[in-house]
Amino acid sequence: MGSKTTKIRTTFACTECGAQSPKWAGRCTECGDWNTLVEELVGGDDPAANVPLAPTKRSGPMRIGDVPTDIARPISTGIDELDAVLGGGLVAGSVTLLGGEPGIGKSTLLLQLLAARQGATLYVSAEESAQQVRLRAERLDAIRPDLWLQSETSLPHILQAIDDTAPELVVIDSIQTVADPALSSPPGSVGQVRGCAHRLVNEAKERNIAVVLVGHVTKEGSLAGPRVLEHVVDTVLQFEGDRHHALRLLRATKHRFGPTNELGLFEMVGAGLVAVPDPSTLFLADRRTGIPGSAVVPTMEGRRPIVIELQSLTTEAIPNVPCRRSAQGIDGGRLSMLMAVLGRRGRLKVGDHDVYASAAGGAKITEPGLDLGICLAVASAMSDTPLPPDLAVFGEVGLGGEIRQVSHAPRRITEAVRLGFSRVILPAKSPEPDEDVRDHVRLIRVDTIAAALRAAGLDGSSGSGLRAV
Ligand code: TYD
Ligand code: MG
């Protein structure tokens, strides 16, 4: 009886979508991304090579009304901002992937999460030593008798630790540094990340415990490692922010147990991450009035209105060089489109200017309500004319130069009024705010970009020397 020989072969796997290919190519044939194929060794019986995407626990069909509902009930994490993003908390038996750039505060947030939780919890650090984690936990006031710590990268040892401590919540920091020696692909490879994640997903379902995996993201903002991870887990959270600012934004980009449009806001301080109860005030804290190129926009994040400042700077472009469109915290493609509309429909000479636009304070917002604010900030910069200090503006700008309605106009107006703004330029057909708000604000309804520029005192027909309101 000859033993079954394991044939080791090489294959190429896409780090984005996980697709395999027998030979290298510059572009993945599955997802179309460039330069994502990496070489991997695959043993003939390597389970990572054909890991199914969903757990394969067998269960018979059930009447839909008989399916128990209590397993999917979220349990509060003890951190309000996180609960808001998760629609109540973490669900037992679920797996959450927390993505974010290195240094953004993922480990900090998760240590705080573990410490806030009642019952046994386990923190597996596959990147830092136990001493390092303990020191951080001391600073965060997270030393608790029920919080277990293991510094470990080997998957079987991690599963053993879960066995030993029987936690209700496990954090693996990070999934990219965990490896299963039973898999022949090298640590950090697509096969390893996928194989280990899959084992942990099965573990979470079988033991009915909540598991949080940390995933690093690349500079471009996508999760490093296979995109298949996103399909395997129940929830994907993105932790973002500018490392040089204290503000951190937490969003769910996928969530099987609730909405994905709520935003959590944290500030990184000496004792860890603290909630930001009034983000509008924080975003406007450094605003200086009377400066050209600044516009204030009440924007919506989920159900939450946040007032932010948009800033723009324009300079004459070098002749015969394509002009620059540089966007920070706002969508670059959107900025280019808006500049085209501003040029054609607003008759502003943006075509021969470099345009820089940013959301002040490290905010990252992509929401159509910003459009009109971006346009007025650029028009204000172009004409060197500041917008009135008490003016807020919101509305979507269409390709025809029309101003379109956006969601929750009354809430936006109310938030602007709360912060002391007394004039709002808004889409013509927006619904009215409550009466007590209406008395404190002048609503200037506009239906075209040209009308908006006129209303803001930035009529662009002459290109310079414009009047203020
Ligand atoms: P960390 O949680 O290690 O980030 P990640 O796990 O996403 O890589 O946090 C990194 C930064 O946070 C680090 O530069 C120091 C800072 N920090 C604070 O400002 N206050 C604190 O209490 C802690 C723990 C970290
Ligand atoms: Mg970390």
The two three-digit tokens of residue 2, written as one number? 């000859």
- Higher-confidence residue of 221 and 364: namely 364
- Whether residue 8 contacts residue 42, with contact meaning beta carbons closer than 8 Å, is answered with yes
Instruction: For ligand 1, pick from 104, 108, 172, 267 the residue to mutate: most ligand atoms within 8 Å of CB.
Output: 108
Residue 451 has pLDDT above 80, yes or no: yes
Q: Are residues 262 and 368 located together in one domain of the fold?
A: no
Say if 464 falls within a structural domain: no
Q: Are residues 126 and 18 located together in one domain of the fold?
A: no
Nearest residue (by CA) to ligand 1, atom 9, is: 105
126 CA → ligand 1 middle, Å: 16
Q: Give the count of beta carbons closer than 10 Å to the beta carbon of residue 405.
A: 15
Q: Count Cβ neighbours within 10 Å for each residue of 215-251 and write b for 16 or more, e otherwise.
A: bbbeeeeebbbbbbbbebbbbbbbbbbbeeebbbbbb
Residue 6 has pLDDT above 70, yes or no: no
Say if 64 falls within a structural domain: no
**Stretch 174-201: mean pLDDT:** 87
**Stretch 344-349: mean pLDDT:** 89
98 CA → ligand 1 middle, Å: 15
Q: Are residues 295 and 269 located together in one domain of the fold?
A: no
125 CA → ligand 2 middle, Å: 9
Nearest residue (by CA) to ligand 1, atom 17, is: 272
Say if 60 falls within a structural domain: no
Residue 390: the pLDDT is 95
pLDDT in tens, 170-187: 999 989 899 999 988 788
Query: Is 268 near ligand 1, meaning CB less than 6 Å away?
Result: yes
Residue 462: the pLDDT is 41
Residue 226: the pLDDT is 55
Q: Are residues 165 and 239 located together in one domain of the fold?
A: yes
User: Which atom of ligand 1 approaches the CA of 173 most closely?
Assistant: 6
Query: Is 100 near ligand 1, meaning CB less than 6 Å away?
Result: yes
Residue 44: the pLDDT is 47
Q: Are residues 118 and 39 located together in one domain of the fold?
A: no
Query: Is 292 near ligand 1, meaning CB less than 6 Å away?
Result: no
**Stretch 133-139: mean pLDDT:** 94
Q: In what order do the strands lie in the sheet with 20-21?
A: 20-21, 8-14, 37-43
- Whether residue 188 contacts residue 177, with contact meaning beta carbons closer than 8 Å, is answered with yes
Q: Are residues 25 and 100 located together in one domain of the fold?
A: no
The CATH number of the domain where 99 resides is what? 3.40.50.300
Query: Is 273 near ligand 1, meaning CB less than 6 Å away?
Result: no
Residue 42: the pLDDT is 61
Q: Are residues 250 and 290 located together in one domain of the fold?
A: no
Query: Which bin fits 132, alpha (ψ -120 to 50), beta or left (φ > 0)?
Result: alpha
Residue 280: the pLDDT is 87
Instruction: For ligand 1, pick from 268, 269, 273, 274 the residue to mutate: most ligand atoms within 8 Å of CB.
Output: 268
- Whether residue 327 contacts residue 337, with contact meaning beta carbons closer than 8 Å, is answered with no
Confidence at 467, pLDDT banded by 50, 70, 90: very low
User: Which atom of ligand 1 approaches the CA of 111 most closely?
Assistant: 2
* Structural domain count, the chain: 3
Residue 224: the pLDDT is 56
**Main-chain dihedrals φ then ψ at residue 324, nearest 5 degrees:** -85, 145
Q: Are residues 335 and 204 located together in one domain of the fold?
A: no
**Stretch 68-73: mean pLDDT:** 72
Highest mean pLDDT pick, 57-61, 137-141, 188-192: 137-141
Residue 335 has pLDDT above 90, yes or no: yes
Return d(Cα 382, Cα 379) in angstroms, integer.
Answer: 5
| Spacing of C-alpha 166 from chain mean position | 32
Q: Are residues 291 and 363 located together in one domain of the fold?
A: yes
Note the pTM of the prediction, 2 decimals.
Answer: 0.77
Query: Which bin fits 298, alpha (ψ -120 to 50), beta or left (φ > 0)?
Result: beta
At residue 436, the 3 state secondary structure works out as helix
Residue 201 belongs to what domain range? 73-276
